[in-house]
Amino acid sequence: MYSLRGAEAPLFHGAACGGSDEGGYFGAKAPVFFIFYAALKRRSSTVLPAAGQTEAGISGLKPGFFYSLRGAEAPLFQGAACGGPDEGGHFGAKAPVFCTLYAALKRRSSMALPAACQILYVLSCANLPAMADVISSASIHEKHFLSDKVSQFTESVIREMTRRAMLYGAVNLAQGFPDFSAPAEIKAAARAAIDGDVNQYAITWGAKNLRNAIARQMGVWQGIAVDPEKEITVCCGSTEAMISTLLAVCNAGDEVVIFEPFYENYGPDSVLSGARPRFVKLRPPASENGEWTFDEKELRAAFDKHTKAIILNTPNNPTGKVFTRAELELIRDLCIEFDVLAITDEIYEHILYDGTEHISMASLEGMRERTVTINGMSKTYSVTGWRVGWAVAPEKITNAIRKVHDFLTVGAPAPLQEAGAAALGLPAEYYAKLAEGYRVRRDHLMPALESAGFKCFRPRGAYYVMTDISGFGFEDDVEFTKYLVKEIGVAAVPGSSFYRDARDGARQVRFAFCKKLETLDAAAEKLGKLRAR
Ligand code: GLN
């Protein structure tokens, strides 16, 4: 099956060779397979016979042979199931076998190629009656209970690394949550709310006190006027605000532009909302004090008539990039030109270094009516477990977000929303101290990482530092972080969790520094062992 290669592909004219998003899953070994796939997908079911002939041309099959297996027989190719609507939908009811093969290849990835290719081989050699025997001897009537969407992503690697840190008793610099106390005033406000019997549901889209405080705060910090009655939805963390927003605005076939590396939730969020992510690279700084940048042409190329939204996270996780006004204006111009929404995750709004300034996209001229601004209490007030976040959007979009949110979670914790209202009233010094505290931590951890052999990319905001691990000679980031947590005793996040193609992050590892100085010291001491390796 591997005998056809690049130059021969044009034989299957028009089919081309599958984009990197198709080919990437199968590796260089399976050009024939994804030529089939591309042929079927691009020509869609009306031209299936033509694609069938293409197959026949390769394998000597009769056209139509591939269509002989149907729904219930698909589980024969176990685990592969029948392809989700995005796979099967393109081929219509006629081609379950084809999409089964595709699913098998895609899900098992190239390691399982031999098995999937054997299936293809069986199909191409066997005659129909023999195939029927194979089918009847297998357990073909087992039901497939799981959602096809869910099979397209894994559990969060960030959260998995926290579990590993606990398993090995390692210092956890993986998941971004503080190990120090939240401000006493807001804990007191939460206690007071519980003592005052704020125990029942708040208004589904958020307690009035909190919405008023959010509106006031957006006015003070960003000069954005917000109607707390019509434009705010309080959710269970900004995580829920993001997925509720995407579910509220995306239709199948929509595309969402995402800068890469990206906070890992955005990938599954896109899948769950039926949108197709289009990634645009942020490139690491060339010099020690440089910035992560993107290519204007590459960004423009990601926008087209299918683009529904761009997800923008500034200050950025994992890179620490703080988007400049000029960059935001460039994105703004594309949003307006292509009639696209900006969905901005501004959860690190107050965590800024080196004189950088946070600019909300909604404050830019022309963007207020096409921006959903997402934020929350977690990072600003060191309460990641309280799960209080929000989405601010124009009324029509807010109405849609509120519907999704209502049926997903009904509401965020009521007493903690009251504490949120108190938190948002903290004076400006609180935020200055917060940022300064993180600057000290950043400047504490970075030298320790550098002297252990990491190359660091200096963050300008948020509380992570991305590093380059090329100096250590490990196979990849995953091997490295496994070693680091088990043998050295420090948990970090493998860079590949922030990229669509794992190879792009294979030389990067992220450390969180939202920890007490003594925790960072403990990590530094352990990292010292790396040098001796
Ligand atoms: N934002 C945090 C991180 O990147 C984690 C958030 C979460 O786990 N929900 O580590």
Nearest CA to ligand 1 atom 1: 176
Give the model's confidence band at 151: pLDDT under 50 very low, under 70 low, under 90 confident, else very high.
confident
265 Cβ inside 6 Å of ligand 1: no
Domain membership of residue 195 (yes or no) is yes
Q: How far apart are CA 176 and CA 438, in angstroms?
A: 13
Residue 430: the pLDDT is 98
Q: Do 296 and 170 fall into the same domain?
A: no
Query: Strand 307-313 relative to strand 255-260: parallel, antiparallel, unpaired?
Result: parallel
Q: Do 361 and 464 fall into the same domain?
A: no
Write the CB contacts of 122 (distance below 8 Å, at least 6 apart in sequence). Answer: 131, 134
239 Cβ inside 6 Å of ligand 1: yes
> What residues pair up with 520 in beta bridges, in sequence order?
none
Query: Average pLDDT in the 226-250 region?
Result: 98
Please write the tens of the pLDDT for every residue from 80-129.
222 333 333 333 333 344 444 444 444 433 323 333 333 444 344 333 33
Query: Average pLDDT in the 410-431 region?
Result: 98
Please write the tens of the pLDDT for every residue from 451-501.
999 999 999 999 999 999 999 999 999 999 999 999 999 999 999 999 999
Residue of 158, 173, 493 to test ligand 1 pocket, by largest number of atoms within 8 Å of CB: 158
Q: How far is the CA of 175 from the centre of ligand 1 (A)?
A: 5
Q: How far is the CA of 157 from the centre of ligand 1 (A)?
A: 10
Q: Do 103 and 158 fall into the same domain?
A: no
Of 23-32, 179-188, 310-319, 346-355, which range is least confident? 23-32
Give the model's confidence band at 50: pLDDT under 50 very low, under 70 low, under 90 confident, else very high.
very low
Write the CB contacts of 408 (distance below 8 Å, at least 6 apart in sequence). Answer: 240, 243, 244, 247
158 Cβ inside 6 Å of ligand 1: yes
Please write the tens of the pLDDT for every residue from 252-300.
999 999 999 999 999 999 999 999 999 999 999 998 789 999 999 999 9
Query: Average pLDDT in the 386-401 region?
Result: 98
Residue 142: the pLDDT is 60
Domain membership of residue 25 (yes or no) is no
Domain membership of residue 347 (yes or no) is yes
Q: How far is the CA of 532 from the centre of ligand 1 (A)?
A: 31
Please write the tens of the pLDDT for every residue from 176-192.
999 999 999 999 999 99
Percent of the chain surpassing pLDDT 70: 73
Q: How far is the CA of 155 from the centre of ligand 1 (A)?
A: 13
Q: How far is the CA of 299 from the centre of ligand 1 (A)?
A: 26
Q: How far apart are CA 39 and CA 92, in angstroms?
A: 14
Please write the tens of the pLDDT for every residue from 369-386.
999 999 999 999 999 999
Q: How far is the CA of 378 from the centre of ligand 1 (A)?
A: 10
Q: How far is the CA of 176 from the centre of ligand 1 (A)?
A: 5
Q: How far apart are CA 330 and CA 93, in angstroms?
A: 44
Domain membership of residue 310 (yes or no) is yes
Of 62-66, 160-164, 305-309, which range is least confident? 62-66
Supply the CATH number for residue 373's domain.
Answer: 3.40.640.10
Nearest CA to ligand 1 atom 3: 176
**From its phi and psi, is residue 227 left (phi > 0), alpha (psi between -120 and 50) or beta?**
beta
Token digits of residue 202: 């708040």
Q: Do 215 and 316 fall into the same domain?
A: yes
Give the model's confidence band at 359: pLDDT under 50 very low, under 70 low, under 90 confident, else very high.
very high
Q: How many domains does the chain have?
A: 3
Residue 93: the pLDDT is 31
462 Cβ inside 6 Å of ligand 1: no
Q: Do 198 and 100 fall into the same domain?
A: no
Q: How far is the CA of 304 from the centre of ligand 1 (A)?
A: 31
Read off the DSSP letter of residue 143. Answer: -
Of 371, 393, 425, which residue sits at a domain end?
Answer: 425
Residue 183: the pLDDT is 98
Residue with the two structure tokens 């005998």: 3
Residue of 161, 239, 384, 513 to test ligand 1 pocket, by largest number of atoms within 8 Å of CB: 384
Give the model's confidence band at 233: pLDDT under 50 very low, under 70 low, under 90 confident, else very high.
very high
Q: Do 348 and 421 fall into the same domain?
A: yes
Name the pTM for this structure. 0.76
CA dihedral 78, 82, 83, 87 (to 10 degrees): 140
18 Cβ inside 6 Å of ligand 1: no
Q: Do 344 and 276 fall into the same domain?
A: yes
What SS3 state is found at 53? helix
Q: How far apart are CA 211 and CA 232, in angstroms?
A: 7
DSSP assignment of 269-326, as one string? HHHHTTPEEEEEEPBPPSSTT---B--HHHHHHH-STTEEEEEEESS-TTT-----HH
Query: Average pLDDT in the 298-304 region?
Result: 98
Q: Do 466 and 361 fall into the same domain?
A: no
Query: Average pLDDT in the 311-338 region?
Result: 98
Residue 463: the pLDDT is 98
Q: How far apart are CA 374 and CA 388, in angstroms?
A: 11
Residue 533: the pLDDT is 60
317 Cβ inside 6 Å of ligand 1: yes
Domain span holding position 384: 184-425
Mean pLDDT (the chain) is: 80
Query: Average pLDDT in the 309-335 region?
Result: 98
Residue 232's Cβ-count burial label (10 Å; 0-12, 13-18, 19+) is buried
Supply the CATH number for residue 495's domain.
Answer: 3.90.1150.10
HSE at residue 254, side-chain half, CA atoms within 13 A, is 22
Of 400, 425, 450, which residue sits at a domain end?
Answer: 425
Q: Do 283 and 375 fall into the same domain?
A: yes
Percent of the chain surpassing pLDDT 90: 69
Q: Do 381 and 477 fall into the same domain?
A: no
Q: Do 418 and 445 fall into the same domain?
A: no
Domain membership of residue 27 (yes or no) is no
Domain membership of residue 11 (yes or no) is no
Q: Do 348 and 395 fall into the same domain?
A: yes
Token digits of residue 159: 């959260």
Cβ contact 468:284 at 8 Å: yes
Cβ contact 293:271 at 8 Å: no
Atom of ligand 1 nearest to the CA of 175: 10
Q: How far apart are CA 331 and CA 343, in angstroms?
A: 12
